[in-house]
Every structure is written in structure tokens, then in C-alpha cells.
């Protein structure tokens, strides 16, 4: 039985509301003290690591790096590191979903384990493609860049959802859709960055990966909607046509 709501305990919640105002009224001093404490930490914090630039140890950029036409090659390397980390996590998310589906997938939705194996293989191939791209620039794919660290922290919740034995397939797909939204946005950024640096080969390969991610997103969104019982018949497309005035 869910007892989380305040209405589960009318007597206690009434007593709480009737507390002496001086006890509950906050003049903001607590919030200000907390903000001041945090400000101090922010002002004195280190960065989330740094981007290891190839060749900086020897003082000269490697052949791969010197081919880049754009400035700030560290941003490209940082973002390549980010995709590498996220694709690796994506592969693990699908591993977890496949395990869950082997136990509890029913015929209620059109998703099959073969579909999931296919997407998992795409994510693993993307991971290897990004590792190759980093190496072609003279970088080290095993180094952790700041953005790789960032997406590692961001995706921790998604990994927890997928590995929680209590979550349903619908709940797992909700987390997977979040991952695919982020994946698609990440590839869009990477295509733009590779283009800025004049890396035509990478633009072509990354655009192919982006299109695969778009397909993943469309598929997982459809499966999620099926899993929560939505069918396309429930939503009239006419209702979704933008109107000139927002609804009241
Ligand atoms: Fe994906």
C-alpha cells in the first residue's frame, strides 16, 4: 500500500500545518547559508579533468591533428570521448534490456529480442567507429575526457533503471528513450564538429551513425508507447496540428 501522500495521515498532517509559525517560517537564512557554502566550493573547484591533446608531450602535434582545419581541436577530441563513453553505456543498457526481456517479454508489443540485438550491435559498432576516429587523429581512445566523465555521471540513473530487477519493460523503455534522445543529439553535434574541422570522411560515417540513431529513437519510442498501451489510433493527428493561439 502506498503511504507516501500527506493525506494518508490526516491527524499528523493537520498538526504539522498548525505548527507554531516561528518554527516553520524560514527567513531565507538557511538557503543563503547553503548557497554561500556552495559558492565557495564552486569558486575553488578544479575542472572535470582535461582533454589529452595528442603530441603535446613531444611539443608537436601529430600528423592526424595537424590535418584539422578548425581551431580548438580539443573540443572535437572531448566530444569524441563523450560519444565513445555514451555508446559503451548504450551497449550495456541494451544488454540489460535483453536480459530483462528474456525473462518477461510478452507478445503485447511489437519489439523482439532480435530487434534489441540489432540495436545493441549498432551501438557497439558506433563505439568502435569513434575509437577509430580518435586514433586517426593521433588521440588515445582509452583516455577519459571531461565530457566523457560528464555523460558517465548523467547516464548513471539510466543504468540503475535498467539493472533494477523491479522495473518493468515499459519503465526500462522509458529510460532507453531518454538515452536515445541524448544519443541522437550527441551525434548531431559530432557531425557538425567534424564538418567544422573539414573531416569529410568522419562527417560521412558519423551521418550514417546519426541516421541509425534516429531509427533507434523512432523504434524505442514506438515500443514504449505500445508498452504503456498507447496506439496510434488514440491520438488523432488532426489534434496535433499547431493552432495559432495556445490553448487556455
Ligand atoms: Fe542508439
Per-residue pLDDT tens over the stretch 154-210: 999 999 999 999 999 999 999 999 999 999 999 999 999 999 999 999 999 999 999
DSSP 8-state symbol, 232: G
**CA atoms of 64 and 139, how far apart (whole Å):** 9
Higher pLDDT, 6 or 247: 6
Residue 170 Cα to ligand 1 midpoint, Å, equals: 17
The per-residue pLDDT for 59 is: 47
The per-residue pLDDT for 57 is: 47
Residue 141 Cα to ligand 1 midpoint, Å, equals: 20
Residue 179 Cα to ligand 1 midpoint, Å, equals: 7
Pair 176, 97: CB distance under 8 Å: yes
The per-residue pLDDT for 247 is: 65
Residue 217 Cα to ligand 1 midpoint, Å, equals: 7
Percent of the chain clearing pLDDT 70 (strictly above): 85
Per-residue pLDDT tens over the stretch 127-163: 999 999 999 998 999 999 999 999 999 999 999 999 9
**221: confidence class by pLDDT, cuts 50, 70, 90:** very high
Residue 178 Cα to ligand 1 midpoint, Å, equals: 10
Average pLDDT estimate for 51-74: 62
Residue 218 Cα to ligand 1 midpoint, Å, equals: 10
**61: confidence class by pLDDT, cuts 50, 70, 90:** low
The per-residue pLDDT for 243 is: 56
**20: confidence class by pLDDT, cuts 50, 70, 90:** confident
Residue 124 Cα to ligand 1 midpoint, Å, equals: 10
The per-residue pLDDT for 163 is: 97
Residue with cell 559558492: 39
The per-residue pLDDT for 29 is: 80
Residue 90 Cα to ligand 1 midpoint, Å, equals: 7
Q: How far is CA 170 from CA 58, 148, 166, 226, in A?
A: 52, 28, 12, 9
- CA angle at residue 93 from 188 to 122, to 5 degrees? 50
| pLDDT beyond 50 at 110 | yes
Higher pLDDT, 71 or 163: 163
**CA atoms of 125 and 119, how far apart (whole Å):** 10
Domains of the chain: 63-229 (1.20.1260.10)
**CA atoms of 56 and 52, how far apart (whole Å):** 8
Residue 1 Cα to ligand 1 midpoint, Å, equals: 37
What is the residue-averaged pLDDT of the chain? 88
Region for 212 from its dihedrals, namely left if φ exceeds 0, alpha if ψ lies in -120 to 50, beta otherwise: alpha
Residue 213 Cα to ligand 1 midpoint, Å, equals: 4
Average pLDDT estimate for 101-112: 92
Residue 176 Cα to ligand 1 midpoint, Å, equals: 9
Amino acid at each position: 500500500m502506498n503511504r507516501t501522500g500527506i493525506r494518508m495521515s490526516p491527524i499528523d498532517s493537520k498538526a504539522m500545518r498548525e505548527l507554531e509559525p516561528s518554527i516553520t517560517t524560514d527567513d531565507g537564512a538557511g538557503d543563503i547559508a547553503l548557497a554561500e557554502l556552495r559558492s565557495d566550493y564552486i569558486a575553488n573547484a578544479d575542472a572535470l579533468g582535461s582533454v589529452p591533446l595528442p603530441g603535446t608531450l613531444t611539443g608537436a602535434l601529430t600528423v592526424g591533428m595537424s590535418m584539422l582545419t578548425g581551431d580548438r581541436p580539443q573540443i572535437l577530441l572531448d566530444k569524441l570521448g563523450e560519444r565513445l563513453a555514451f555508446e559503451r553505456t548504450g551497449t550495456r543498457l541494451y544488454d540489460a534490456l535483453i536480459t530483462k526481456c528474456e525473462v518477461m517479454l510478452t507478445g503485447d508489443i511489437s519489439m523482439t529480442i532480435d530487434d534489441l540485438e540489432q540495436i545493441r550491435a549498432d551501438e557497439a559498432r558506433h563505439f568502435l567507429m569513434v575509437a577509430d576516429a580518435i586514433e586517426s587523429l593521433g588521440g588515445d581512445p582509452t583516455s577519459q575526457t571531461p565530457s566523457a566523465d560528464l555523460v558517465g555521471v548523467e547516464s548513471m540513473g539510466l543504468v540503475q533503471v535498467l539493472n533494477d530487477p523491479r522495473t518493468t519493460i515499459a519503465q526500462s523503455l522509458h529510460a532507453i528513450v531518454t538515452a536515445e534522445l541524448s544519443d541522437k543529439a550527441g551525434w548531431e553535434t559530432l557531425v557538425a564538429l567534424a564538418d567544422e574541422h573539414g573531416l569529410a570522411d568522419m562527417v560521412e560515417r558519423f551521418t550514417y551513425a546519426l541516421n541509425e540513431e534516429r531509427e533507434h529513437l523512432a523504434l524505442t519510442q514506438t515500443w514504449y508507447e505500445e508498452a504503456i498501451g498507447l496506439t496510434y489510433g488514440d491520438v488523432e493527428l488532426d489534434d496535433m496540428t499547431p493552432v495559432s493561439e495556445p490553448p487556455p
